[in-house]
Chains A and B, each alone.
Chain A
Amino acid sequence: MGLLDVFRASRKKAGSASLAKERLQILVAHDRAFRNRPSYLPKLQQEILAVIRKYVEVDMDAVSVNYEQDETQEILELNIVLPDSGGRG
């Protein structure tokens, strides 16, 4: 690689625009996924947690609610982590 090539290569890569594009693509994808979620999700998560805690002692973060959407279907995923040694009763 000659001196001229080094100069050219560094010129091509030097710009910050590609960094901007990369950051934006991630951010916009995240924003859009969040935007399409139903607004009842946080409340749903809270209430499910309250019901479970009536019977089983679990941490506040034991319930996770995930929502995904593709062309044909919507998936509501509930994940409840129960403690190893069972509950109160």
Chain B
Amino acid sequence: MARIIVITSGKGGVGKTTTAAAMAMGLAQRGHRTAVIDFDVGLRNLDLIMGCERRVVYDFVNVINGEANLNQALIRDKRCDSLYVLPASQTRDKEALTQEGVGKVLEELGKGYDYIVCDSPAGIEHGATMAMYFADDAVVVTNPEVSSVRDSDRMLGILASKSRRAETGEEPIKEHLLLTRYSPQRVERGEMLSVQDVQEILSLNLIGVIPESPAVLNASNAGIPVVLDIESSAGKAYNDMVSRYLGEDLPMRFVEAERKGIFSRFFGG
């Protein structure tokens, strides 16, 4: 049975889809059969970030309604053989994701895959609760900023009470904190909450810190998950996140402001 990972946050625009794409690609690159599902019915975007938007024929809701089977709807990634994308539907009917329907699709997928990554929509509405209901693990994506931290805490409450694991009394969902858009320079100047601050407030296991980086926008512009840009700080940090998820013990990188020497100050190094 596959392990189901939900990428969630509550607040929009913090990097859920970027993280879902990175997590899925990272796991697949390490040889695990992985499927990534877009739960944002009506506002699909994962296909764009993954660069497969022109290959979408059927979607998640088609599969739930029996209009297509899973194999017809799954899009195989062109860069990595063990990665498949299940796009969201553009229908405006959000209730199309029934708990029974989602459960069936996940169960069928679970037979052939090692990991299923669920890209949750923002908010605490139906789509978001469906994305987290069946999860085994959760990555709570948070920006070092007040509203994002508060919303993440709200999500933790929902993860603890409104999931299959909570309802059946199984071991609770394993929650991880991912800090994104982190700027060590601003933290040093006292303008931004630090990693320690956020951890202290949320008391969660930290799975990674992704620095603010132009590589993220470049990657989404091109439809290439940023985790593949291994030259960039964000790409490296996302790779570390995947390795940590798989149990490796790695120190956090890019959390200290770079010390610029006089030489590089002058020459813009």
Contacts and interface: CB of A to CB of B under 8 A. Distances in A.
Contacts of B190: 11-18
Contacts of B153: 28, 31-32
Interface stretch (B12-20, B114-122, B126-134, B193-201): B193-201
Contacts of A54: none
B25 to A, nearest CB: 32
Interface in A1-23: 11-18, 20-21, 23
A88 interface: no
Given A28-B201, A32-B157, A17 B193 contact: yes
Interface in B119-166: 145-146, 149-150, 153-154, 157
Contacts of B201: 21, 24-25, 28
Contacts of A17: 187, 190-194, 197
Given A17-B187, A20-B146, A35 B157 contact: yes
Contact of B154 (A13, A16, A31): A31
B199 to A, nearest CB: 11
Nearest to B160: A35
Contacts of A28: 149-150, 153, 201-202
Interface in A23-49: 23-25, 27-28, 31-32, 35
A55 B145 CA distance: 52
A31 B156 CA distance: 11
Nearest to A12: B190
A24 B157 contact: no
A15 B191 CA distance: 5
In the complex, which of the residues A14, A17, A18, A35 has the most CB atoms of chain B within 10 Å of its own CB atom?
A17
Interface string B159-187: 00000000000000000000000000001
A23 B146 contact: yes
Contacts of A25: 200-201
